[in-house]
Each structure stands twice: as structure tokens, then as C-alpha cells.
Amino acid sequence: MTVTTGPGGRAAAVRPIDLSGVDADQAASWYRSMALIREFETTAEPLVMQGRIAGGMHSAAGQEATAAGVIGALAATDIVTGTHRSHHITLAKGLAPDLVMAELYGKATGPLGGRGGHMHLADLSKGHFGSNGIVGAGLGIALGAALAASVTKTGQVAVGFTGDGAANIGRVWEFVNLASIWTLPLVIVCENNLYAVETPFAQVTGGGDIAARAAGFGLPAFKVDGRDVAAVYRITAVAVARARAGQGPTFIEALTYRHGGHDVGDRETYRTKDEVERWRSESDPVLRLRGSILAAGLLESAALDAIDAEVAAQVAAAVEFAESSPDPDPATVLDNVTGIDMKIRGNL
């Protein structure tokens, strides 16, 4: 165990991670990405409760390492799709926090003009093909992107994120089957945070092993500690190399834990405070990375503190930007919805 202090000054005894072969630049990049995600989520949550962000929010606090590790192993031109809980994926893919915050606020300056909201973030120019409120549906979009990359021989890899709840949705396994038989350049990442909304994963998953299910479709399937960014990065790098070499898809089950409820305001009657605190104190992914960086001598505490201050300023500026941005023009409500010429009538 390593005792360390992270954002907010909270001390914790956390399990270290193996940073062998990792240089200072890589460590700093992971830490910056994860610290930004944590700051964004913990800033946005109270804004939802205050009504300044409408429509609720699914926080990814606690799942930062999966996004930073997976996307850190991709090329900028590679493609990702996400779930309803995907701010971490979106920020790790390079969308600016001010634009993402504006989208949460429903403002015209968001990447989707304020029309998508927090569950439907996307920027095709950055290879982010969209988060998705339909359970498991984002994986189908990633499958299509992988098929297109295979046919057009672009060399791109597509990554489709799902959750453990999606492991009990039929469409997910149809996508896995097609990727396998067509040998597509697809990496499937299942973020198993132990709860599908409020239902414990273990109570509803026959066999209790998502990776074992995936292996039955004839593709490599791995479990990884999803709160260890280095471990996630290493296994994703192997999967991406296989996909780019034409060897087909890989399934990765990242074992993780969300720090908050299913959505902001969730009363969390299905798990105990002791359980949540145990996960936070022993395996917080941000604190684990910070402590391991310091223990390995890759960066000094002052350098990590500077990153914390940098991302805090970024997120504060993002809130100011979002709150000062204009609302969408009602006359543009049908823009980018259809190519059919449609007239706005009545109150539409």
C-alpha cells in the first residue's frame, strides 16, 4: 500500500500499479487526462443538483483509468463510441472541456449545438462517433466503423465501449459475433462497474464471467483491472496491434467501480456507504496513479500539483464559457437531422 494525497487533499492507502517501462511524459499524460476527467465530473455534479445543468447526468468518476488507458493506446485517427456514461471517453479523446460543458448546458457552442446533451456527445472530426443512451447500441456503431475501415483499408481501429448491463442485451453478442466472423478491426471494452443501474452484476449474469462469454465467439477475451491505467493501456495496445494487423477483434472486460450512483441524485439504497468508501480508499484510480508515479520517481509532487491546478482552471473556465454561451436558435432545430426539406410549423 502507498499512502498519498490527491485532489482535494484526501489521504488514502491505495494499491500501487506497475509503471515499469513507463516514462515521465507518458505518466504525466495519463495523470493529466484522468485528473481532468475527475475535475470535470466532480464540478458538473453539483451543477446538475442546482438545476444549472438540466436533464441529469451519469458521472464517470472512478472510471477514469479505462478511458485514459484505452484511448492512450489509439492513434488520433482511430474511432471510439461510448455509452450513456461517457464524459471520460469524450475528454480522453480530445474534445475540449469547455465545448463538452457547453453541450451539457444545452448551449449552441457545444459540439452538437446543444441538441445532444450529456448522453449523446460526439465529434466525428476527432474520431468520436458518439455516446449513446440505448444500452449496447454504441457497439453497433463501432462495428459499422470497423467494417468501413476494413472495406476501405484505412488502417483505422474502432473501439466500442459497453457496460456490464449490456452484457445481458442480445444485440451486443450479435455485434461480437459479426466482428469475429468478419475478422474486423474492433476492440470491445466492457466497463464492468458491478452495477447495472441498481442491480448487482453478479445477480443477473449467468456464469458470472463476461469475458468467458465473449471467448465463446472465437476471439481473444481478457479481464483487466480497470482502475489501473497502465494495465488497461498495455492490454489495449496488444488488442489494437492485432486489429491493425488484420487479426480481428479483441474483447476486454475492465473491472472498475463508479464512485457515485447510476446518475446524479441516485439515493444508492442498493449498496452501502462502507462499500463505496472501501473502493474509494483502496483503489481510487487517480490516487493509485499519483502514488505510483511518486514512488517510481517519474515526477515530483509539485509537478502533479501543477497539473491539478491546470485542470481545475480549465474546468472553471469551461463552466464560465458554458454559462455565457447562447442557447440554440429554435429555427435550427431540424438542422443535421434529415436531408429532406422540412418547414417548421406551429411551435416546433
| Angle between helical axes of 24-49 and 97-104 (0-180°, round to 10) | 20
**343 domain residue, yes or no:** no
Is 142 within 8 Å of 190 (Cβ atoms)?
A: no
> pLDDT tens digits, residue range 282-302?
999 999 999 999 999 999 999
Mean pLDDT of 160-189: 97
The answer for residues whose C-beta is within 8 angstroms of residue 303's C-beta and 6 or more apart is 28
Separation of alpha carbons 225 and 257, rounded Å: 10
Is residue 256 within 8 Å of residue 201, measured between CB atoms? no
Is 345 inside any structural domain? Answer: no
Assigned domain for 255 exists: yes
What integer pLDDT is reported at residue 348 of this predicted model?
Answer: 47
Which amino acid is present at 41? E
Q: What is the CATH number of the domain that holds 293?
A: 3.40.50.970
The torsion region of residue 61 among left (phi > 0), alpha (psi -120 to 50) and beta comes to beta
pLDDT at 61: 97
| Grid cell in block for residue 204 | 443477473
Which structural domain, as residue segments, surrounds residue 67?
2-12+21-320
Q: Is the pLDDT of residue 42 over 60?
A: yes
Higher pLDDT, 233 or 330: 233
The strand pairing partners of 254, in sequence order, are: 191, 224
222 found inside a domain: yes
5-9, 10-14, 338-342: which has the highest mean pLDDT?
338-342
- What pLDDT sits at residue 344? 53
Residue 348 placed within a domain: no
Looking at the structure of the chain, the number of domains it has is: 1
Q: Quick one: residue 47, left, alpha or beta (phi over 0 = left, psi -120 to 50 = alpha)? A: alpha
Q: Could you give the count of Cα atoms lying within 13 Å of 240 in the half-sphere of its Cβ?
A: 24
- For residue 333, being part of any structural domain is answered with no
Q: How many CB atoms lie within 10 A of CB 202?
A: 10
Query: What H or E segment, with its residue span, contains residue 315?
Result: helix 301-324
> How would you class 29 by CB atoms within 10 Å of its CB: exposed for 0-12, middle for 13-18, buried for 19 or more?
middle
In a domain, 95, yes or no: yes
Task: For residue 1, name the pLDDT band (cuts at 50, 70, 90).
Answer: very low
Average pLDDT over residues 53-71: 96
Q: Is residue 334 part of a domain?
A: no
Residue 7 confidence (pLDDT): 45
pLDDT of residue 342: 60
pLDDT in tens, 10-30: 555 678 999 999 999 999 999
- Percentage of the residues of the chain whose pLDDT score is greater than 90: 90
Q: What is the pTM of this model?
A: 0.92
Radius of gyration (Cα) for the chain, nearest Å?
A: 20
Question: Three cell numbers at 318?
Answer: 469551461
The 10s digit of each residue's pLDDT in 181-239 is 999 999 999 999 999 999 999 999 999 999 999 999 999 999 999 999 999 999 999 99
